[in-house]
Structure 1
Amino acid sequence: MFSINDELRMFIATGTAINPVTQTNWETVGVKPDVAIGADEALEKAVEMANKVVETNWLTEKSRREVEVDRLLTLLQKVRLSDKPLSDVKSTYAAKVSELVKQLPEPDRVIAEMAYEYWDKEPKYAVFLFDIAVQLNNQNMYFFAYWARALAELNNMQQAKNVIEQGLKLASDKEDKDMLQDTLADLEQPVVGL
């Protein structure tokens, strides 16, 4: 220990650092790189190696996503073909579907697009999907409007009105409120058959 002044002292190491595992001293030997290559080729080699790692990771992620999508579609097919009441279908499948769909990018849009496809042909299935879409994103008022329309297709007007009222409570701008009010007015119009 060397005293520089009354408040500062300094220690200068004079020994060598020995790696306890390899029993070598890297300070005098240097470090051997994993890939020995010349300085001129180092950048190209680093980019090449990084690309291989990224490609491997991407292929792994892609196959994982494909498995998740297949599981989701299989589960949704069970929902679609179920003849159980909507409340039973929801209690059985909603949590599983919601969990699987969250693995996808923009999950609310994925579910809503499926629901839009079926809302007039298979309203029970669409109601199930819109319910999940609203749980994932309750700020899209079109989800509420189509959810209510699908409920109306099932002749469940009271629940359709409740969905519109729920959307009106959450709607923040005038256009969304007007659209929901228009949807409610359309639903309350009696259907005249020829």
Structure 2
Amino acid sequence: MLTALRKIHKSKDQTPDELETQIAQAIFDLEVNNKDLKAELQPLTFSSAKEVKVGKDKSAIIVFVPVRQIQAWKKVQGRLVRELEKKFSGKTILMVGQRKALSKPTSNKVHRPRARNLAEVQERLMEDVAHPVEIVGRRTRFRTDGGQHIRIFLDSKEKNNFESKLHTLSVVYRMLTGKRVTYEFQPTA
């Protein structure tokens, strides 16, 4: 079990919970048993995991990964998610970068990286949630009461594989950011 815990990268005062240890063990088992994924999974770690209720009987597991490793995770995400969904049956697995927005600096001498402002963090989270499918468009509807609703259009090539996950993507994005978003596939002309 100690070898599986090296997949979780937490600060020293935090201990992984039961879900995180189960995911770490599943990833470690895939690393040991699957020759194709071994070289790619070996240097990767994740920060935390969280289970979210999506519907009455549906739930999703969000795995937060360090932002510096997000590109490496995306290379193996398709195969890894497929294998993890087999182990955690009935649950959708999503890999999302552990991103944090910084507040506006009060002094002109302090610099905030563009990747750390709130709009950029929410944009990247939107892409992370929908990752295997490419975002091809976006429409924002402003309501008379001041609210807004965003429609995200996904590439229709993956419609057969991801149509059942659209509601899950919307619920997870709303849980992460507080914004109402609807993921849908681009209508064919």
Taking structure 1 as the reference length, the TM-score comes to 0.30
Higher fraction of helix = 1
Query: Normalized per residue, which structure has more strand?
Result: 2
Q: Bigger relative contact order, structure 1 or 2, given CA contacts below 8 A and separation 6+?
A: 2
Look at both structures and tell me which one has the larger radius of gyration over its CA atoms.
Answer: 1
What TM-score, normalized by structure 2, do the two folds share?
Answer: 0.31
